[in-house]
A = this chain, B = another copy of it.
Amino acid sequence: MQEKNRRQANITFTIQKLEENKAKYFTFAIPPNELILESGKKLGPIRIAYETYGKLNQEKTNAILIAHALSGDAHAAGINQQKGIEGWWNNLIGPGKGIDTNKFFVVCSNIIGGCQGSTGPSSINLYTGKEYSTDFPIITIGDMVNAQKALINHLKISKLLSVIGGSMGGMQVLQWMIAYPESIKSAIPIATTMKHTPQQIAFNEVGRQAIISDPNWNKGHYYGSRVPAKGLALARMIGHITYMSDDSMSKKFGRHFKTKKNNGIKFEPEFEVEGYLRYRGGSFVKRFDANSYLYITKAMDNFNIVNGKDIGHIFKGLRAKILVISFESDWLYPSQQSQEIVRACKLARVKTSYCEISSSYGHDAFLLETGEEGQIIGHFLNTLN
């Protein structure tokens, strides 16, 4: 059985060439065929789903890596040809846009631990022929970045022009700055933090508890059976509240009642915000794996590049140029945490600029305020050469 699966694994060891704007897959084919995780455990073979936009120049000096957030995927830009879905940062990435694909070669890969093409808990463990489920090892932001580095090596890019990401994507950016300082010419961490506060951990923990408390979770072994939809929807609802600001919620919903009456059923949604949260929670379940939610939020909570270090030593020796961006109404990753990154960079004599963008969208602003954000990023990228 194991032998047979091993052979199947070898089949996927080829790199599938796909057309532009359609996910490509890279599988670690080089020995040792495995990624040694920060925990010391080994994971492999690993498949990484990625998309690219624009063209890599001959000198391979125009490559930008985009790192996605908790629920993101490799489909950052363009319109998915099969499903017609717009990339999650399509307003920012494209010809003539803030991250201009007429100039830059943009790569975005799904994180390991995820569920959108890259190896994660819902992937088949080739040694058992079954989904990993909770046998999937604990992964870290560092592991995600190491997998991205393998992809970048595979693409034969020795130095990225920039690595850019918001929220958990920003954590990956910070990790690149620490783990591969020589491999990046610049970096743009957006709406992120060097470590989670107890409050940030607490919100994630309640989300995890919601999933684990769902009887359908079944200790993680729900594949091929009923998924813990209610638990995952609840986790997403909690997330959504933290992604929006009180102000943006008020503008969007006010205290409006849903137009459809709830037929007198008690505790059905009455306010628009309630219906919205349930809808968003429910739709999330269709595209996201509950175990991935557990693993990824744990990776976020465990991320800590300060870790007792003197703040001036965190980025010591880094020669990349840094642009830090935060958003005024973001209370999940408040500007103060971005300013702490700026301080750490400046104390380490890293060339750093910072901008707080005025917005009422809360944490979601990094996905929505693409006008100013694009201008600021575009200007920064154009001044790199």
Query: A interface vs B, CB < 8 Å?
Result: 134, 138, 195-199, 201-203, 205-206, 208-210, 212-215, 230-231, 233-234, 237-238, 240-241, 244-246, 249-250, 252-255, 266-267, 269-274, 277-278, 281, 294, 298, 301-302, 304, 331
Which residues does chain B contribute within 8 Å of A206, judged by CB atoms?
234, 237-238, 241, 277
* Of B201, B231, B331, the contact of A331 (CB 8 Å cutoff): B331
Question: Within the assembled complex, what's the spacing in Å between the Cα atoms of A209 and B244?
Answer: 19
Between-chain CB contacts (< 8 Å), 11 pairs: A196-B255, A198-B255, A198-B272, A199-B241, A202-B237, A202-B241, A202-B277, A206-B241, A206-B277, A209-B278, A266-B294
B195 adjacent to A209 (CB under 8 Å): no
Closest-by-CB residue of B relative to A228 is B213
Are A266 and B138 CB-contacts (below 8 A) given A198-B249, A201-B271? yes
Closest-by-CB residue of B relative to A196 is B255
B294 adjacent to A198 (CB under 8 Å): no
A246, A278, A331: residue with the most chain B Cβ atoms closer than 10 Å = A246
Which residues does chain B contribute within 8 Å of A249, judged by CB atoms?
197-199, 202
**Total copies of the chain:** 2
- List 18 extra interface pairs beyond A198-B250, A270-B301, CB under 8 A: A134-B267, A138-B266, A197-B250, A197-B255, A198-B246, A198-B253, A199-B241, A199-B250, A201-B255, A202-B274, A205-B237, A205-B271, A206-B238, A210-B210, A210-B234, A215-B215, A238-B238, A270-B302
Q: How far is the CB of A195 from chain B (nearest CB, A)?
A: 7
Which residues does chain B contribute within 8 Å of A197, judged by CB atoms?
246, 249-250, 255
* Of B214, B266, B269, the contact of A205 (CB 8 Å cutoff): B269
Closest-by-CB residue of B relative to A244 is B199
Which residues does chain B contribute within 8 Å of A245, judged by CB atoms?
199
Q: How far is the CB of A90 from chain B (nearest CB, A)?
A: 27
Are A246 and B201 CB-contacts (below 8 A) given A213-B214, A213-B234, A238-B206? no
Are A231 and B205 CB-contacts (below 8 A) given A199-B241, A255-B195? no
A134, A210, A272, A304: residue with the most chain B Cβ atoms closer than 10 Å = A210
B198 adjacent to A252 (CB under 8 Å): yes
